Chains A and B, each alone.
Chain A
């Protein structure tokens, strides 16, 4: 059994104007579908990466998984427990401390008025656990000094702060950590330090990561399995080798072509055209059809089902043709 099972997950947000404006201006309600019918599994002790551009719903999935947002429909089961429907409060609390999160901005996710020790032991203290010497032990595990426990967050650089965030996530001895763009705010040499730390911790503690990122090179380095999101839908899922060497979905191909690469000096090709459509009025059928070179009438009418393809899965009517080009 997989550690995490996400089935037909859907999350919508009401982005309508206030009711009085709607009444006076005769506007309909507007609904933004952030996540639409997404299903995937995460195996224990692996890294599952979600990639996509802004507005693709990757952070929303992360928030639903840790229980910060309820799903609109569909189920999220972690170790066979559904946080949204589980009736037993003790079971929910137990699971919650087994799932932790690391956020993108280490300047916004640490309380500037708390000492590092209090920040790190908070997940344990909140449940009444034993916090003696815990902060010092964790600080050394993430490559900082035990003496740093009495300092405040502003005394650290961005990379050091992200290490503190990692230490806090580890405090309650979680099994699953959701990392939402953990290195996007960091410089490349510091990013390498943090990514190495995360790989080491995964080995040492047997962790499972959901790794959310927009950076394909980071994802390729970290992930065991990659899911590509476009406009709230999972369009392709594969292991890194297959995804980068033989992408099957036209959107994945476009994303790989567009990403800047170190070996394409003075590249002079036509860049991909168009932008992500408005998620309030998404295109009918396949969400990628307005930008897709292979789009046919079928793509404009019918949303492609997620189907097995090679060693992965793809949601495209013309995946065979796409992979051949």
Chain B
């Protein structure tokens, strides 16, 4: 089956006074139709930057410096801005972390939805309005008909995120990029939003890139998971396999440092040190200064390519 999205050797660069920074460094993955791909990593790992590159929303001076992005077989990374505008919203929907800043505070939500539907689907205003109502009902807004003329500030945080999801899905895109969609929400509301996102994508066959730092959310929602470190893909594979038997030492450290995995120990396992700054990515494997089993090869050879799902010279669970 043809992948909905193919990212091939994507490189994003930011030219600065101190040299060229690479927040995304040769990242490749495919996304099958209806699949949910979780992207995890700590702050600065480049997970949001990858999503923004796909949707063409990189802030200058960041730009795509190499590789290609294919949406249903068509290259979209070199399209002119006007063409990209038509793809954004129509083919790729977007859900951001803070629902308050992704809605226009001066427009009733019904207008925002019907504007999107009119623009992308070319239907009449009254039809767009009917579809907007259906979209709100689908995401579980109570008394949706009465709320079409409500403003974003009249909704609670969870309800606002539902509206944003309705907005992202109303033009029936084939791909949704959800960037930390539940980070600003309480746990009970977070569970509702994750369940909603899963149900809608299953019903519509939409693929999702779910960017989050919360491994628990990934475990419950994603089919596959990509672990990013210092702009590079450290490990990618089926979610259960990666989280229970990680092959990359970084994934292992990340999973082990979660308090849920302390197993009653007084101390948590910790990864020494911190993520390197983009100005000082170590040579060789970027993780080598923090890696418990780093060897000479990790420091001197060029960085390892992804093989069997992990970018590591000495993956875990294999005889050395």
Q: Does B43 contact A (CB under 8 A)?
A: yes
Of the residues B191, B217, B239, B243, contact of A272 by C-beta under 8 Å: B191
B219 and A192 form a contact (CB under 8 A): no
Taking CB atoms, residues of chain A closer than 8 Å to B13 are none
Asked if B74 CB lies within 8 Å of chain A CBs, one says no
Are B220 and A266 closer than 8 Å at their CB atoms? Answer: yes
Given the known inter-chain contacts A189-B254, A262-B215, A272-B192, please indicate yes or no for A267 contacting B43, CB distance below 8 A.
no
Q: Which of B194, B195, B213, B223 has the most chain A CB atoms inside 10 A of its CB?
A: B195
**Could you list some 7 contacts between A and B, CB below 8 A?**
A188-B213, A192-B257, A215-B259, A217-B258, A258-B191, A275-B158, A275-B188
Complex-state Cα separation, A225 to B216, whole angstroms: 24
Contact between B268 and A192 (Cβ–Cβ < 8 Å)? yes
Say yes or no: A189 contacts B253, CB within 8 Å.
Answer: yes
Q: Give Cα A154 to B225, complex, Å.
A: 33
Asked if B58 is at the interface of the complex by the 8 Å CB criterion, the answer is no
Stretch at the interface among B64-72, B113-121, B269-277: B269-277
- Determine if A261 and B190 form an interchain contact, defined as CB atoms under 8 angstroms apart: no
Q: 8 Å CB contacts to B: which residues of A291-312?
A: none
Do the beta carbons of A189 and B42 come within 8 Å of each other?
yes
B298 close to A (CB within 8 Å)? no
The answer to the question of B240 belonging to the interface, with a C-beta cut-off of 8 Å to chain A, is: yes
In the bound assembly, the distance between CA atoms of A277 and B159 in angstroms comes to 13
Q: Is there an interface contact between B257 and A188, defined as CB atoms closer than 8 Å?
A: yes
Q: Does A84 contact B (CB under 8 A)?
A: no
Cα A220 to Cα B190 in complex, Å, equals 20
In the bound assembly, the distance between CA atoms of A188 and B215 in angstroms comes to: 9
Query: Which residue from A188, A257, A275 sits with its C-beta under 8 Å from B254?
Result: A188
State the B residues within 8 Å of A (CB).
Answer: 42-43, 156, 158-159, 186-192, 194-195, 198, 213-217, 219-220, 223, 239-240, 243, 253-255, 257-262, 266-271, 274-275
Question: Smallest CB-CB separation from A240: which chain B residue?
Answer: B264
Q: Which of A158, A216, A220, A260 has the most CB of B within 10 A?
A: A260
Structural contact, B257 and A271, CB atoms closer than 8 A = no
Question: Which residues does chain B contribute within 8 Å of A14, judged by CB atoms?
Answer: none
The B-contacting residues of A in range 176-192, CB under 8 angstroms, are 187-192
Inter-chain contact B195/A271, CB cutoff 8 Å: yes
With A196-B270, A272-B188 already in contact, the answer to whether A189 and B257 are too (CB < 8 A) is yes
- When chains A and B are docked, how far (Å) is the Cα of A158 from the Cα of B213? 15
**Nearest-neighbor residue (CB-CB) of B261 within chain A:** A262
A264 within 8 A of B: yes
Chain A positions 145 through 179: 1 when the CB is less than 8 Å from some CB of chain B, otherwise 0: 00000000000011110000000000000000000
User: Chain A: interface residue count, which band?
Assistant: 35 or more
Q: Could you tell me if B186 and A214 are in contact, using CB atoms closer than 8 angstroms?
A: yes
Q: How far is the CA of A271 from the CA of B189 in the complex (A)?
A: 8
Which residues of B sit under 8 angstroms from A255, Cβ to Cβ? 187-188
**A188 touching B42 in the complex, CB below 8 Å, given contacts A221-B268, A261-B260, A266-B220:** yes
Q: Tell me which of B43, B217, B220 contacts A187 (CB under 8 A).
A: B43
In chain B, what residue has the closest Cβ to A267? B220
Which residues of A, 30-70, contact B by the 8 Å Cβ criterion? 53-54
**The residue from A199, A257, A264, A276 contacting B219, defined by CB atoms under 8 A apart:** A264
Contact B268 A271 (CB under 8 A): no
User: Quick check: A260 and B190 within 8 Å, CB to CB?
Assistant: yes
* Cβ contact within 8 Å between B188 and A271: yes
Besides A272-B191, A274-B188, 7 new A-B residue pairs in contact (Cβ under 8 A), listed by A number = A157-B274, A221-B262, A258-B188, A260-B194, A265-B239, A269-B195, A271-B188
Verify B219–A260 contact, CB threshold 8 A.
yes
Q: How far is the CB of B226 from chain A (nearest CB, A)?
A: 16
Q: Is A265 in contact with B270, judged by CB distance below 8 angstroms?
A: no
A260 to B262, CA, bound (A): 16
Question: What sequence of 0s and 1s flags, for each residue 188-232 of chain A, a beta carbon within 8 Å of any chain B beta carbon?
Answer: 111111011001000000000000001111101110000000000
> Given the interface contacts A187-B42, A188-B258, does A275 sit within 8 Å of B156 by beta carbon?
yes
Question: Whole-angstrom distance between the alpha carbons of A191 and B255 in the complex?
Answer: 12
Q: Which of B186, B213, B216, B217 contacts A276 (CB 8 A)?
A: B186
Nearest Cβ distance between residue A51 and chain B, in whole angstroms? 10
A259 contacts B by Cβ under 8 Å: yes
User: Closest 8 interchain pairs by CB?
Assistant: A260-B216, A192-B257, A187-B42, A271-B191, A53-B186, A221-B259, A258-B191, A192-B268
Which residues of chain A are within 8 angstroms of B258 by Cβ–Cβ distance? 188, 192, 217, 262
Q: Which of B187, B198, B217, B269 has the most CB of A within 10 A?
A: B187
A265, B190: Cβ atoms under 8 Å? no
Complex contacts, A220 vs chain B, CB 8 Å: 259-260
Residues of chain A contacted by B271 (CB below 8 angstroms):
189, 192
A53 surroundings in chain B (CB, below 8 A): 186-188
**Complexed CA–CA distance, A250 and B186 (Å):** 17
A263 close to chain B: CB less than 8 A: yes
Please state if A217 and B259 are interface contacts (CB–CB under 8 Å).
yes
Residue from the list B187, B213, B239, B270 in contact with A259, Cβ < 8 A = B187
A282 to chain B, nearest CB (A): 15
Flag if B266 contacts A199 (CB, 8 Å).
yes
Of A191, A257, A262, A269, the contact of B216 (CB 8 Å cutoff): A262
Min CB distance, A260 to chain B, in Å? Answer: 3
Please give, as numbers and ranges, the residues of chain A lying within 8 Å of B259 by CB-CB distance. Answer: 191-192, 195, 215, 217-218, 220-222
**A254 at interface by CB-CB < 8 Å:** yes
**Are B270 and A192 in contact, with the CB atoms below 8 A?**
yes
Residue from the set A199, A221, A254 with the largest chain B CB neighbour count within 10 Å: A221
A214 near B220 with CB under 8 A, answer: no
